[in-house]
Structure 1
Amino acid sequence: LLHQVCKSGVCVNNIPGYTCYCSSGFIYHHTLLECVDVDECEQEDSCPGGLCVNTVGSYFCTCHPPLVLDHSQLRCVLPECAVRPFCVPPEEGVSLCWQQVSADLVCQSPLGRRQVSFQECCCLYGEGWGLQCALCPGTDTGRRPSSAEDCGILGGCENGRCIRVEEGYTCDCHHGYQLDMASMTCRDINECEEGGPASECVNARCVNTDGSYRCICWRGHRTRRDPWTRPNRTRDEWHP
C-alpha cells in the first residue's frame, strides 16, 4: 500500500500517516499520490537572459549570440563575464543595442559588446534594444507604425499600457505584473514566492497563474470564503 501512495519516491511510515520523499527535481503530488517532475522553467529566475529547456528531473539553458553561459551554466552573460565568476551584473536600464532587425522581427548585428540605454540605442545606433529585442520607434516613412513599433517595445506593452516619458517609452503594467527593466516588458508577479500575498493559501498549495494565482486545497480540506481552508473530505480550489 505504501508504494501505491508514494510512486517514484521513498515512503516512510509514520504514526499516524506517512511521509513521501522525492528525488531532486521532483515534488510530491497529493492528488496523483506520486513524485512528479518540477518544471523549473516556470520560475521567473530560470535562465536569466536565455532560454530555459525543461527535462525530467532537471533543466538546462541556452543563449542567443553574442551571449554565452556563465560558469554556473544557468545564466546568459556577455563573453567576458563567462570567465569571471564574480562579474558585476550590467547596470540597470542598459543592455545590448542591435543595429538591424529582420522582417520577421529578429534582432541582428549587435553593437559590439557595449551596453547602452534604450534611448541612446534607438537615437544613435540601432533598430532594436535588449535581450528581448525591443523595437525602436519607427521613423517617419509615410506609413503609420504598428502599436508595437510606436511604443518601441516588442509586443506593444503586452500586459500593460505604453506611455511616453522623457527618455522615450515605458510600460505601465497591469495589476499582477511588474516592469522588467532589462527587457522593458511587463512580467507576471509570482505571488507564490515566500512572503508574497499567496501566503494566505493555508492548508493548500499555491499555483501561480498569468497575472494572478490560485489556491488548491490539500486532500481532506475544502475552501471557505475566507482566505484559508478547513478540514473536509473533498478537494477544491479558490481564486483571489
Structure 2
Amino acid sequence: DINECNQGICSQVCHNSVGSFECSCFPGYVLNEDKITCSDINECTSGVAGCSQDCINKEGGFNCECEFGYTLDDDRKTCVVGKLKIATIIIQLYSFKMRKYVENICCALL
C-alpha cells in the first residue's frame, strides 16, 4: 500500500487507508467540495459563536468582545456589567488622593 498522505495532498489533515486516503480539517474549518482543501468557518455569521454582544471571526475560530462598560464573563461568550473595571478606577483614584471625586465618577460609570 502506498501512503498517499506522504505526498502532501491534503491541505490540513490526511488519513491514510489501504488503497486510499481521506482529508479532514482542523477545528474551525470545513472541508471544501474538492475534498482536499479547507476553508475557515465564520462562526459569527453561522450562529455557532453564541456571543452575547460582539463577535470577531478569525482564522480557525472566533473571539467574543464586549461593548464599553461590559466585561467578558468566564464562559468567554457572555458580557456582564463591568463592575471590576469600576472598582479598579476607584482604587486608582484613591491612590492619587482624589477621594472627593470618587462618588461622582462611580455613579456616572454605573
Which band: TM-score by shorter chain? 0.5 to 0.7
In the alignment, structure 1 residue 215 sits paired with structure 2 residue 58: no
Following superposition, the deviation at residue 169 of structure 1 comes to 3.7
Identical-residue share of aligned pairs (%): 32
Q: Aligned pair 1:164/2:10, yes or no? A: no
Question: Where in structure 2 are there 5+ consecutive unaligned residues?
Answer: 86-110
SS at match of 1:192: helix
Q: TM-score, normalised by structure 1?
A: 0.29
Number of residue pairs matched by the alignment: 80
Which residue in the other structure is 1:229 paired with?
Answer: 79
TM-score (norm 2): 0.57
* CA pair 186-165 structure 1, distance change in 2 beyond 3 A: farther
Residue 176 (structure 1) aligns with: 28
Provide the rounded CA distance (Å) in 2 between the counterparts of 1:216 and 1:179. Answer: 28
Q: How far apart in 2 are the matches of 1:165 and 1:207?
A: 38
Give the Cα–Cα distance (whole angstroms) in 2 for the partners of residues 189 and 209 of structure 1: 9
Give the Cα–Cα distance (whole angstroms) in 1 for the partners of residues 22 and 35 of structure 2: 11
Q: How does 1:187-206 map to 2 (within 5 A)?
A: 187-196=39-48, 198-199=49-50, 201-202=51-52, 204-206=53-55
Shift of 1:167: 7.8
Report Cα offsets for 1:36-76 as digits up to 9, x if no partner. Answer: xxxxxxxxxxxxxxxxxxxxxxxxxxxxxxxxxxxxxxxxx
- Pair 190,166 (structure 1): closer, same or farther in 2 beyond 3 Å: farther
Q: Computing the radius of gyration over CA atoms, which structure comes out larger, 1 or 2?
A: 2
Task: Give the Å deviation of 1:230.
Answer: 1.0
Alignment CA distance shift 1:167-1:219 (3 Å): farther
Relative to its length, the structure with more helix (as a share) is 2
- Unmatched 5+ stretches in structure 1: 1-136, 138-146, 235-240
Structure 1 166/185 Cα, relative in aligned 2: closer, same or farther at 3 Å? farther
Cα offset, 1:166, TM superposition: 7.1
